[in-house]
Chains A and B, each alone.
Chain A
Amino acid sequence: MNLKELVTGVPGEKQFLLGNEAAVRGVIEAGVSIAATYPGTPSSEIGNVLSVLAKDANIYFEFSTNEKVAMEVAACAAASGLRSFTFMKHVGMNVASDSFMTTAYTGVNGGMVILSADDPSLFSSQNEQDTRNFAKLANVPILEPSNCQEVKDMVKYAFDLSEQFNIPVIVRTTTRVSHMRGVVEFGEVKDNSSNGDNHWKRGHFNKDPSKYVPVPAFAGSMHVRLWDKIHKIEEITNKSELNTEIKLTENKKYGVIASSSAYNYAHDVIKFNELDVNILKLGFSYPFPQNKVAEFLSDIDEVFIVEEVDPIIERDTLACIGANGLNVQVHGKLDGTFPLYHEFNSDVVGDGLNKILNFKEETGIDYSSNLEKLSEDIPSRAPVLCAGCPHRAMYYGINIAIEELGMKASDVIFASDIGCYTLGINPPYNAADYLLSMGSSVGDGCGFSVSTDQKVASFIGDSTFFHSGISPLINAVHNKHNFVLTVLDNRITAMTGGQPNPGIPVDGMGDEAPEVSIRKLALACGCDYVRVINPFNLDQVVKTYKEAFERNDTAVIISKAPCTLIKGLTKKPPVNFIEGNCNKCDKCVSELACPAISKIDGKITIDKSQCDGCNVCIQVCKYGALEAGR
């Protein structure tokens, strides 16, 4: 598919879309004017696509420095009467939450939708938190699509709902919805034509401090208005077609209440096993559709609650049963029918239903002992730093510096952060000992340096530094904390697929943009030792780290070299191996651990299709067995 079809596609047209692409089409159909994000998997592709399409779709789009800023950009656009969209991953909601919580109070004029992508089973996240808690916490409505068509339709509907009640609306996806592909039928596109010099529409902010400035005198009545809205919206959730009963049987003993991707698993297990169970699918789960659920429960004896991550619908259902004096037995996470953590699938849901319904027979296959042994013996294939990755060179170099200073790497605390470089946790680098969240490595450097006598090395990426690394660096300098901070400036937000950040001269729409200097920022924070190094020059890396570790202040090293995945970089030819010179010390394999170098049948082998020509291995080999390609 050509991505432009997301803009040009006509109603009735069908495309095979990723959930995240479907979200973009929903945004376009809804006539959004302003969109902002900080990239985070599983939501990242929404930004990648908007970045390409923003101008054609009359949308202003930015990669903000962090999710809180993105939330503020969207909130102000909505306050100015424009439709605005912000999106992030679940942990991004934590960053955005300070401003988000109050946006629920101030409300919106143009529709404002927040898409938050949860990551059950932590495919690429540091926790499994459930965004639905934020809906309850802030008291805003939440929609839970279960497939790509629903992503598009619910995003569009969320804008109408937002404008109807002047309240921001959350759309919660999960990895299996964001990264599902399915057939999506397009609908009408609402006009959002530019009304000025820019390619996007401009709104107007009408001042009204009693509505928009939550000083205590005003915020109290805002809270009253918020509850009033929620009560009215509950009438809608009770009638909404997004909360609908799927009738698969006339038998009324058992029912399932399910949402999001968990609904898909329940549906397929019930359908393909022809179970006598009906499903109440909740696509609009907060405010909780109490009456609709009570009506569904009044017909049945036992209900299964099938939802991923937290038992949120389950607790609401239990409350509903209590409030309505119903006699229904509830099977869910709380009674152990389904697991309390990790993502579901048809097997998990089937096993849970089977505990009560006993419909499954064991269908094990007897494999030969050879196969069992083979299965146990295959090497693991964890994600690794790419061949040619500048982070590998830096980790290799810092370990040499530590050794040459007479220290042991095991005595240095490596505070890591969110990005590709977290993969430094793997052997042989073992360079990640503690990690909390975006920007935490710098605050952790402060914490460890004041609470231990150990040396601390903190690592943070360029994008993450802009996101949340600057304020803890100010803290470090002012409070005289002693650690070495490395900013791994690979000229891109690499982990999420290569989005721009303020350190490079291009913005989210591909236009030229001022480049913000990490070096000058560090100097302005008051750091006395700031060095920019080329990580591919091992001698320079080692020398600089030795200097930095011998200081007693906050030393900043900026390891600057582009991510090898950036498109359009000129690659150097792959390295050659000269067998006659090889001393079989295996340093290149065991200590550098580059995926392009392996030992096959006792001989070093360079995979020419992977080797990037970074030439770090040449500096590692003392015997001249590796030489630059020509």
Chain B
Amino acid sequence: MLLETLAEPVAATGMFTLAWTMIAVPLVMAGLLLLAGKLTDRWGHLAATAAVLWSFAIAACLFGEQLMRPAAERAVENHVYTWFTVGPWNFEVTLLIDQLSILFALLITGVGSLIHVYSIGYMAHDDRRRRFFAYLNLFIAAMLILVLANNYIVLFLGWEGVGLASYLLISFWQHKPTAAAAGTKAFVMNRVGDLGLLMAMGTMLAMFGSTSFADVNAGAAQLQPFWATAMGLFLLLAACGKSAQVPLQAWLLDAMEGPTPVSALIHAATMVTAGVYLVVRSHAVFEAAPTAQLAVVVVGTVTLLAGAWIGTSQDDIKKVLAGSTMSQIGYMMLAAGIGPAGYAFAIFHLLTHGFFKANMFLGAGSVMHGMNDDVNMRHYGGLSKAMRVTFLTFAMGYLAIIGFPFFAGYFSKDHIIEAAFADNFFIGLCALIGAGVTAFYMTRLMLMTFFGEKRWLKGVHPHESPKVMTIPLIILALFSIFAGLLMNWWIQTWLEPAVGNHAHEVSLIPTPVGLATLLVVALGVAGAWMVFGRKPIPATAPQTSNPITIAGRNVLFGDQVNNFLFVGPTKVVARTADAADAQGIDKAVDGAGHAFAGLSTQLRRLQTGYTRNYALTMLWGVLIVGAVLILGQLG
């Protein structure tokens, strides 16, 4: 129903022919830093930052050029080279720079640049800093491949690339067993999701003979419902893995073991948002499969509430933010599942979330920097005076995420809640509750970190971070304030050619749903103040019999469930296979070997070296052969 609004991409001209350098420059820089070794130790971080700034500059130029073009010519295809040809299938590496992918490219390179700059300060004392920047560049390049691809195969290349880069970065401090385990966990759980994408691609090749977005979008409408649903569910599985949605969410909180800029990059700008991108990009498939669409909405809603729940009871500042990411991505998935009404809002929220979540993660990094890398919020308190800039910028992110009027999140989240109510009252209600819980746990985080009494450990002297860290914070804080206002009236029209038309009136005056949201948010803030603002925070988490808190502290027992359902049975299977290998196969093979060895020892005895012995053997042989012949004649 919306396909007629999709404009055919035009061939690349002018600046657009340089689009590939957006990917190539960081990629080559990553390779250089990794291969050149210690030679680049002194300037590697600066070169890596420059590489991302280059990508950002290109993205900005392309965006500017797109803005000047008429809407029909904004989507540009840039053919790079033919990857390989198999039978009737031809796999091309082609970049698609359209209204959707350019926004992603801007977010990835823009926020990515700020994170690079910030990391110069944050990682200043790490002796493996060069390596860290190489991995960051690899991440940026992989993510750009993911969003700029014009077909699923090339997208998959980037998809796996971010998986690899996230593994390297999450387990960057590999000398810590927890970090190594967290990296492995993220990697393995992502592979489960990747299986979904592989199966989706297989289905596409079988159905359409092509994986390019254009062919899939064009073919989806004629697809049999069964195959459309299967394809949609496979894509959803892929999105769940990458975006840490229930049931593949367990890796996200552990991923906090990585350096904080990594968390900001993964959560705000890159990997975790890839699932939402995938669903929005494949919208034609989902529109042909209402069941899959419903599944997306359910997954989004469940994750939105689960993430918020986890956020309410974690004491680790980064884990609160990680739970919050899950929850916000849940909002985006929910919006993407609603259908045409939600696509633009999903992307809108993704962009504003990119800004304020990067802001808050980097702010949390700044706090950790001042607190000797302590992440336990129970050891914070009263930091608003000690770290003025960090506090103020973090507060902007806080106001944006809870949806304080006219901050970035206010626009994007309210639109999603409105769209959810328009779709289904129950889903809308869940989204509304989610907004309240978000306000509750974020207020808790603010109160525990920046307000109240000092609960600092001995020997900790909080101080403001250097300028190289605070300036990115300030820029992100400005975006956290204004990004929503900036894009509110523009993003729907802008994205219309890429994701379809869906008129949704937006205005500054709150709708009834918007007013209800504000009320719920206010209730959340007040609730948090009642619980955490009025009395001192104990230095250790108090014992509680509240099942909600216990479940939240244990991350909703996700690890236990996974252990019980998957890890345990897999271990049993593996042990059985190992035992069968050792007891059965090894013994059989060894036994055969021993049997032949014994037989040959016996046979060796016949080789005496005495001529007459051999002659006797031959005679026996002749006699036996003769006897057989004669008896055969007689018979």
**Chain B binds chain A:** no
A interface, CB within 8 angstroms of B? none
B interface, CB within 8 angstroms of A? none
